[in-house]
Amino acid sequence: MKESERIVNEIAQGLSQLDEGASWFSTLEPAQQKAVLREVVSHSMQAHATVEDGREGVARSGVKPTANPAVMIVREPLPDRMAKIINLPDSENVKAFRVLVSTFSVADTRRRELECRGSCSHAWHNLT
Ligand SMILES: [Zn+2]
């Protein structure tokens, strides 16, 4: 499993703090940051994230609701909005990371509780 994938999933599962993840993320080059954002969007789609998850994610993200990624993640159609978040200027990358990972955490927690129920073969749900 890639370092980025492990870190993002540790946050989603409450094994690591979003602030720690954001600190790690901020040390990456902008191109690496974009690659991580693309991964998080992909994970979010797999976890069937919704606009409602986006709302809850923004509330947990520490990002102002008026910031670009926060405004975009609460609008339909979500896959399209998430793609646009990835394409924001690099100066928005850290806010985008916080909003996307928080939203993924909400969607993935629901998936773990309702579908996986503690016994699944998803490598990223079996980190320990
Ligand atoms: Zn699972």
Which token pair is 107?
């969607």
| Spans of all domains in the chain | 3-125
Phi/psi region, residue 16 (left: phi>0; alpha: psi -120 to 50; beta: rest), is: beta
Report the pLDDT value the prediction gives residue 118, as an integer from 0 to 100.
84
The answer, yes or no, to whether residue 63 has pLDDT greater than 90, is: yes
Please tell me the distance between residue 84's alpha carbon and the centre of ligand 1 in angstroms.
28
CA distances from 64 to 2, 57, 61, 67, 95 (A): 30, 11, 8, 5, 9
Q: How far is the CA of 6 from the centre of ligand 1 (A)?
A: 14
88 CA distance to ligand 1 middle (Å): 31
The CA 121 to ligand 1 mean position distance, Å, reads 6
Are the C-beta atoms of residues 109 and 12 closer than 8 Å to each other?
Answer: yes
Q: What is the mean pLDDT of residues 92-113?
A: 98
pTM for the model: 0.96
C-alpha of residue 105 to centroid of ligand 1, in Å: 13
- 69-93: average pLDDT: 97
Q: 44: CA distance to ligand 1 center in Å?
A: 13
